[in-house]
Amino acid sequence: MPDKRIIVLDRLLDAETHEGEGMPQQVRVVFWADVPTTRQPFYANATVLSAWKDASAADLTALQTGQVVERTETLRIPKSATMAHIQSALQRRWQDYQTQINTYNPWNRYGTFWDGSTWIIGGVA
Q: What is the pLDDT of residues 30-69, one digit of tens each?
A: 999 999 999 999 999 999 999 999 999 999 999 999 999 9
Structure confidence by residue, pLDDT tens digits, 99-117: 999 999 999 999 999 999 9
- List alpha helices for 1-125, DSSP H: 40-43, 57-64, 83-103
φ, ψ of residue 32 to 5 degrees: the values are: -115, 130
**pLDDT for 3:** 85
